[in-house]
Amino acid sequence: MRIGFDAKKAASNLTGIGNYSRNHINLLAGNKDLECTLFIPGRGKEECLEAITGLDDMKIISPSGNSSINRTYWRNFSIVNDIKKSGVDIYHGLSNELPFSIKKAGCLSVVTIHDLIFLRYPDTYDFLQRKILTLKTRYACRNSDAIIAVSEQTKRDIVEFYGIPEEKVTVIYQGCHNVFKQVVPLSERESIRQQYGLPEKYMISVGTIESRKNHRAVIEAFAEAAEDITLVLVSKRTRMQKDIETLVDSLGIKEKVRILNNVPLSHLPALYQGSIGAIYASYFEGFGIPVLEAVTSGVPVIAATGSCLEEAGGKGAVYVNPFNPHEIAEAISRISNDSEFCRELVEGGKEHLNNFTDKALSSKIYDYYNMLLNRSL
């Protein structure tokens, strides 16, 4: 079985869809029944390429020129000729899009759709960005032979917004980075905690500070909860961070909230594992990878209802109304004070993680490709 991947994000993005793409490819590495070809429209980043397992055994196809215009044109249009020449059985677009004229590539096509948040909450995207995303995802969904959705929520959105038949969309969950599966020694956790100047008792929230992530409600909940806990927000710096800092000051809880920018991936496992719990109250996600990261790290989680976070957290989280700070505050207090409840969440999380083992995910992906090829015969 010969599979070709759109590996732009795998080769160049250190987070998000880049992590998903590398993990997807890595899950299949070493399968002797598979021959993987990576289509990369540029040189990529060394750190990303080094994280792809078995790269030396994979065929890499790139455009002849390296200008930005040439790379963009190749990935969207002329790549179809290279896909056809490569002889792959399936071409898989891992990041919401497929080349235009994909039907001329002479192979089956699959696209992974991560979310349609730009349609569900259009005000969170600027006009041009929303139009481009809509054009690309709509084309990919309508012209692919099959679609992978990363959650049931995303599947429902694909069916609702684009009128795609349900049977065309298969849900295959994503895993999280392997660094979260390792237990960090206590001494290292303590060292990293001190490096960031954090107290011993803190709750962590990992996610970009933007309106949809709902940091405002979380901070209001911390102001209400009469607990001796520090809230640690881990985010790249955004325009909204200043608004959040102003809110913290106005509520008089500056000593209870820390914002950490530019935290490397290598420090996140220690920060998760050193916390008393994680909180992720985003009111809409395509999957919610920070929830899975926290459950994998073995800490109790507070997550929001309303989209797909129950799929990511399973029995490892307590779920709250993201628009009700009082309900969030009650969950914070319970995590802080009820050790038996926390133990039950952690145990429930361990059970839930059976759905996300490398073996379970790789088998599902391989069986899916096999099914598509057998169906096309």
**Residue 238 falls within a domain, yes or no?**
yes
Mean pLDDT of 193-202: 98
**Residue 149 falls within a domain, yes or no?**
yes
Q: Are residues 240 and 94 in the same domain?
A: no
Q: What does the DSSP 8-state code read for residue 229? A: -
Look at residues 172, 188, 214 and tell me which one is the last residue of a structural domain.
172
Q: Are residues 35 and 142 in the same domain?
A: yes
- For 72, the enclosing helix (H) or strand (E) is helix 68-73
Q: Is the pLDDT of residue 19 over 90?
A: yes
How many alpha carbons lie under 13 Å from residue 331 in its C-beta half-sphere?
Answer: 26
**Residue 369 falls within a domain, yes or no?**
no
Q: Are residues 125 and 182 in the same domain?
A: no
**Residue 376 falls within a domain, yes or no?**
no
Q: Are 179 and 268 in contact (CB under 8 A)?
A: yes
Structural domain total, the chain = 2
Q: What is the separation of C-alpha 365 from the centre of its chain, rounded to a whole number of angstroms?
A: 17
Range of 284's domain?
Answer: 178-355
Q: Is the pLDDT of residue 227 over 90?
A: no
Instruction: Give the domain CATH number at 117.
Output: 3.40.50.2000
Q: Is the pLDDT of residue 225 over 80?
A: yes
**Residue 366 falls within a domain, yes or no?**
no
Q: What is the b/e burial string over 298-318, where b = at least 16 CB atoms within 10 angstroms of the residue's CB? A: bbbbbbbebbbbbbbbbbbbb
* pTM for this prediction: 0.94
Q: Are residues 262 and 148 in the same domain?
A: no
Tens digit of each residue's pLDDT (9 = 90 or more) over 251-284: 999 999 999 999 999 999 999 999 999 999 999 9
Q: Are residues 19 and 46 in the same domain?
A: yes
Q: Are residues 195 and 141 in the same domain?
A: no
Q: Are residues 289 and 229 in the same domain?
A: yes
For residues 12 and 251, give the distance between their C-alpha atoms in angstroms, rounded to a whole number: 41
Percent share of the chain, pLDDT over 70: 100
Q: Are 6 and 41 in contact (CB under 8 A)?
A: no
- Pull the structure tokens for residue 78: 């002329």
Q: How confident is the model at residue 65 (pLDDT cuts 50, 70, 90)?
A: confident
**Residue 242 falls within a domain, yes or no?**
yes
For residues 118 and 194, give the distance between their C-alpha atoms in angstroms, rounded to a whole number: 39
Q: Is the pLDDT of residue 35 over 90?
A: yes
Extract the runs of DSSP E, i.e. beta strands, from 188-345.
202-206, 230-234, 257-260, 277-280, 301-304, 317-320
pLDDT of residue 312: 98
Q: Are residues 302 and 335 in the same domain?
A: yes
**Residue 131 falls within a domain, yes or no?**
yes
R_g (Cα) of the chain, nearest Å: 21
Q: Are residues 193 and 161 in the same domain?
A: no
Look at residues 144, 172, 200 and tell me which one is the last residue of a structural domain.
172
From residue 190, give the alpha-carbon distance in Å to each of 135, 187, 273.
48, 5, 10
Q: Are residues 211 and 107 in the same domain?
A: no
| Torsions phi, psi for 303 (to 5 deg) | -135, 165
Tens digit of each residue's pLDDT (9 = 90 or more) over 277-333: 999 999 999 999 999 999 999 999 999 999 999 999 999 999 999 999 999 999 999
Percent share of the chain, pLDDT over 90: 94
Extract the runs of DSSP E, i.e. beta strands, from the chain.
2-6, 35-39, 59-61, 90-93, 108-113, 146-149, 169-171, 202-206, 230-234, 257-260, 277-280, 301-304, 317-320
Q: What is the separation of C-alpha 150 from the centre of its chain, rounded to a whole number of angstroms?
A: 9
Look at residues 151, 172, 193 and tell me which one is the last residue of a structural domain.
172
Mean pLDDT of the chain: 96
Q: In which residue are the tokens 């996610």 written?
A: 207
Q: Are residues 29 and 139 in the same domain?
A: yes
List the single range of 29-43, 63-77, 250-264 with lowest mean pLDDT: 63-77
**Residue 374 falls within a domain, yes or no?**
no
Mean pLDDT of 167-172: 98
For residues 298 and 275, give the distance between their C-alpha atoms in angstroms, rounded to a whole number: 10
Q: Are residues 138 and 10 in the same domain?
A: yes
